[in-house]
Amino acid sequence: MWWFGGGFDLTPYYGFEEDAVHWHRTARDLCLPFGEEVYPRYKKMV
């Protein structure tokens, strides 16, 4: 049996605004090649 774990989330113990801004910008940039509507759609799910 194989297990590939991991995720793409931001779960800080202590929240820092600059970390959240950086995470969301990176997420947006990663989603952009798949269409401009992808990131806003996923952002609404959280």
The domain segmentation of the chain, as residue ranges, is: 15-46
What residues have CB less than 8 Å from 19, skipping those under 6 apart? 10, 12
Q: 29: pLDDT confidence band, cut at 50, 70 and 90?
A: very high
Query: Distance between CA 16 and CA 28 in Å, rounded?
Result: 19
Average pLDDT on 13-38 reads 92
The model's pTM is 0.70
Q: 2: pLDDT confidence band, cut at 50, 70 and 90?
A: low
Closest CA to 24 of 43, 4, 5, 3: 43
HSE at residue 40, side-chain half, CA atoms within 13 A, is 3
HSE at residue 33, side-chain half, CA atoms within 13 A, is 2
Element spanning 40, H or E: helix 38-45
